[in-house]
């Protein structure tokens, strides 16, 4: 990941303003510690903090077209850049670098503003056309990479990878919506990403396990595009284990990835004796990865909370719980010289993997809920995965959120995603079944059919208990009782939520900042639908996966007594 900052239409064009832009850009240096760059043109500034993954030697940003009339600053990876580059060369475009992101400048020059859908990758970028001083900004379809947009009192327009770079200088700012483009020529935001599933019409494509498996393997393979050492995050659950299994199996096919050794590096973190550590160790042994098992204590996690909230820029309880161990793990990963990791985010949203999906009444409601979950990923899991790793200059790539794979998975008749224990179908059964190969197994069956743990639970149950206890020592009953007066918007309903909110407000006190965080009580965004499907959820104020009433582990098996069972 990199850090970008762009400002257009500044009244002040003095050297002092340039220095201020550089100062603000430095707030993003954790995202890109390898190099810094800035381009100034009249009242426009494009700054960049680079994390060098592809073409470390010549790919410094901002990037340009041939005559430097088009300037672009990009955060992300363009996985199909070689195909696009060849297409552009046929039209006489000449490239200055080997960077995957340089194609953006040339695509704009060739096709104008409507080129964004040609990109296959994760990205946020800002582009300036100096010929008419127009500019555009765009974000990938899911929102894997973050971006914020703000407005200054002087009429200036700002863009940045993280809120901290613009919150002091903008009167108002928002999270830039995924799948959108902002055009100074046309004015305002418009959606460029319109995949078939976005309308939420119920799809009818029959389930074909081979098609699904091959689509995912292609997704993993394209994310092995790297010129630096890399690894995989491995919790031992289904999603990360499949990413590791496919990457390990195809490592030798990727010249750039293979140069770093034939043995894949895997990383896991947890409290001593946690479920994830044991499961990940077993998967790593099976796959033959070079495994790095990292432990932390509850106190170490608590000590990091303020820094975590500063970096991830949210007060959402579930996100903070899961971000803290990921933040600690990323620091260790960086210390080992690794700059890029593959991660398993997105599968639960696409396939209905959360435990409350057991209560989905029909395929229509299940599909609509998966669509809603994917659309909200940029507020939760994508935000966590990106900012927790970027805090230490590590890039997280997410194969499940490949745009082609999402289109394949979301086009399947959702009847196949319905959880039917009497037919041996648990959550994400179609994904498990697609990789259930007896001849050449990807994973052992008991791993392939392991039931879901939320990341914050899997690192050790005492982690959440420790957080609650810590918050209770800092938030009194009277403080919580008066929470609606102190925090009238998105009022916290638990002491833990109140504690996180108070830290967030210390770093980001503006009303615009608090409005970038999803609304409602401090429970998981799934709760509204979970309550609709099963009223028992209304009694649960805790977003932990283990609180999935009557669903998880022993409780579920008691409920399902007498029905056919399968390994979990």
The catalytic residue positions are 2
Rounded to an integer, what distance in angstroms lies between the CA atom of residue 357 and that of residue 342? 26
Which secondary-structure segment (H or E) carries 26? helix 15-26
Q: What are phi and psi of 240, to 5 degrees?
A: -65, -30
Q: Consult the annotation and say whether 344 binds a ligand.
A: yes
Produce one character per residue of 243-268: b if its CB has 16 or more CB atoms within 10 Å, e if not. Answer: bbbbbbbbbeebeebeebeeebbbbb
Place of tokens 């743990």: 453
Residue 508's Cβ-side half-sphere holds a number of Cα atoms within 13 Å equal to 28
Q: How far is CA 188 from CA 43, 149, 167, 410, in A?
A: 20, 11, 21, 29
Return the SS3 of 292: strand
Q: Consult the annotation and say whether 269 binds a ligand.
A: yes
Using an 8 Å Cβ cutoff, are 343 and 396 in contact?
yes
242, β-bridge pairs: none
The candidate with the shortest Cα–Cα distance to 5, out of 37, 35, 42, is 37
74, β-bridge pairs: 125
In sequence order, what DSSP letters do the residues of 330-354 get, joined into one string? HHHHHHTT--EEE--TTHHHHHT-S
Q: Which two tokens stand for residue 275?
A: 């479920």
Q: Consult the annotation and say whether 100 binds a ligand.
A: yes
The candidate with the shortest Cα–Cα distance to 360, out of 530, 118, 137, is 530
Rounded to an integer, what distance in angstroms lies between the CA atom of residue 181 and that of residue 125? 10
> What residue ranges in 458-539 does DSSP mark as E strands?
none
Q: How far is CA 522 from CA 90, 530, 557, in A?
A: 53, 15, 29
Q: Tell me how many helices (H) and strands (E) the chain has.
A: 24, 17
Residue 183 makes CB contacts below 8 A (sequence gap 6+) with: 113, 134, 136, 190
Secondary structure, 3-state, 418-463: CCEHHHCECCCHHHHHHCCCCCCCCCCHHHHCCCCCCHHHHCCHHH
Any idea how long the chain is?
568
Using an 8 Å Cβ cutoff, are 193 and 179 in contact?
yes
Q: Which two tokens stand for residue 277?
A: 């550590």
In sequence order, what DSSP letters do the residues of 41-84 get, joined into one string? ETTEEEEEEE--SSSTTT--SSEE-TTS-EEEEEEEEETTHHHH
Secondary structure, 3-state, 147-161: CEEEECCCCCEEEEC
Binding-site residue numbers are 100, 233, 269, 343-344
Binding-site residue numbers for ATP are 233, 269, 343-344
Binding-site residue numbers for L-glutamine are 100
């Amino acid at each position: 990941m990199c850090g970008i900052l762009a400002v257009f239409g500044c009244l002040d064009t003095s050297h002092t303003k340039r220095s201020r832009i550089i100062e603000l850009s430095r707030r993003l240096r954790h995202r890109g510690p390898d190099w810094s760059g800035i381009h100034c043109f009249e009242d426009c500034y494009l700054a960049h903090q680079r994390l060098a993954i592809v073409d470390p030697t010549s790919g410094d940003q901002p990037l340009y077209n041939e005559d430097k009339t088009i300037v672009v600053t990009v955060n992300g990876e363009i996985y199909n850049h070689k195909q696009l580059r060849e297409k552009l060369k046929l039209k006489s475009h000449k490239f200055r670098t080997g960077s995957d992101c340089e194609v953006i400048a040339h695509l704009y020059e060739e096709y104008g503003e409507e080129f964004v859908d040609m990109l296959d990758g994760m990205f946020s970028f800002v582009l300036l056309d100096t010929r008419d001083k127009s500019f555009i900004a765009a974000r990938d379809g899911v929102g894997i990479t973050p971006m914020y947009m703000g407005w200054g009192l002087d009429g200036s327009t700002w863009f940045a990878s993280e809120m901290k770079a613009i919150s002091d200088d903008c009167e108002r700012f928002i999270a830039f919506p995924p799948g959108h483009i902002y055009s100074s020529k046309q004015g305002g935001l418009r959606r460029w990403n319109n995949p078939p599933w976005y309308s939420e019409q119920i799809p009818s494509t029959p389930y074909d396990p081979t098609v699904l498996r091959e689509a995912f393997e292609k997704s993993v393979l394209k994310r092995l595009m790297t010129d630096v050492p890399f690894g995989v995050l491995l919790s031992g659950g289904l999603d990360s284990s499949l990413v590791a299994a496919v990457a390990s199996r195809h490592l030798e096919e990727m010249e750039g990835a293979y140069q770093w050794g034939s043995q894949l590096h895997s990383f896991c973190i947890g409290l001593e004796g946690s479920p994830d550590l044991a499961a990940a160790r077993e998967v790593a042994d099976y796959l033959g990865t070079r495994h790095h098992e990292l432990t932390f204590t509850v106190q170490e996690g608590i000590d990091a909370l303020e820094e975590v909230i500063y970096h991830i820029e949210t007060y959402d309880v579930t996100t903070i719980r899961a971000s803290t161990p990921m933040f600690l793990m990323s620091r260790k990963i960086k210390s080992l010289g690794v700059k890029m990791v593959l991660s398993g985010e997105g599968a639960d949203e696409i396939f209905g993997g959360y435990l409350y999906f057991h209560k989905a009444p029909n395929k229509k409601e299940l599909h609509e809920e998966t669509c809603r979950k994917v659309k909200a990923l940029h507020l939760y899991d994508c935000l966590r995965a990106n900012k927790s790793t970027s805090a230490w200059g590590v890039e997280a790539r997410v194969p499940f959120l490949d745009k082609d794979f999402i289109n394949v998975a979301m086009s399947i008749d959702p009847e196949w995603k319905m959880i039917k224990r009497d037919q041996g179908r648990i959550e994400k059964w179609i994904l498990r079944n697609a990789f259930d190969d007896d001849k050449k197994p990807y994973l052992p069956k008991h791993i392939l059919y392991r039931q879901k743990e939320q990341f914050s639970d899997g690192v050790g149950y005492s982690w959440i208990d420790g957080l609650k206890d810590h918050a209770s020592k800092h938030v009194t009953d009277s403080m919580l009782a008066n929470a609606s007066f102190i925090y009238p918007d998105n009022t916290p309903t638990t002491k833990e939520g109140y504690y996180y909110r108070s830290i967030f407000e210390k770093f980001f006190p503006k009303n615009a900042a608090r409005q970038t965080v999803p609304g409602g009580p401090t429970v998981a965004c799934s709760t509204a639908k979970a309550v609709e499907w099963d009223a028992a959820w209304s009694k649960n104020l805790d977003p932990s996966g283990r609180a999935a009433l009557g669903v998880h582990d022993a409780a579920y098996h008691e409920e399902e007594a007498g029905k056919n069972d399968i390994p979990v």
